[in-house]
């Protein structure tokens, strides 16, 4: 089922801006996790959250929190799948 919603240009631009900022949060969290060899949500959050809040002041804090959580869950799922394959 597809859902179609008509939005004006200003709303579409605002949504695209939020999407780009969220993508930056995810990219920074991935980079931090890889460079510090950690998949722990707590460690990723401790290393990234404060700097991301300063960079993205207009972005609601739950976007940053959720982004870090998504990266940690993805990393843990990937480790689980690889361990089952061996």
Residue 16 lies in a domain: no
Give me the pLDDT at residue 49, please: 93
Residue 60 lies in a domain: yes
Give me the pLDDT at residue 38, please: 84
Residue 39 lies in a domain: yes
Residue 29 lies in a domain: yes
Taking residues 13-19, what's their average pLDDT? 93
Residue 18 lies in a domain: no
Q: What is the pTM of this model?
A: 0.77
Q: Which domain holds residue 35?
A: 23-85
Continuous segment of H or E residues that includes residue 86: none
pLDDT in tens, 19-78: 999 999 989 998 898 888 888 888 989 999 999 999 999 889 999 999 888 888 887 766
Residue 7 lies in a domain: no
Give me the pLDDT at residue 19, please: 92
Count how many domains the chain has.
1
Give me the pLDDT at residue 77, please: 65
Residue 11 lies in a domain: no
């Amino acid at each position: 089922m597809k859902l179609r919603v008509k939005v004006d240009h200003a709303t579409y631009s605002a949504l695209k801006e939020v999407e780009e900022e969220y993508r930056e949060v995810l990219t920074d969290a991935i980079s931090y996790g890889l460079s510090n060899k950690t998949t722990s949500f707590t460690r990723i959050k401790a290393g990234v959250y404060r700097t991301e809040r300063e960079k993205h002041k207009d972005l609601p804090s739950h976007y940053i929190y959720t982004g870090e959580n998504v990266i940690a869950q993805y990393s843990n799922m990937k480790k689980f799948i690889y361990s089952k394959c061996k």
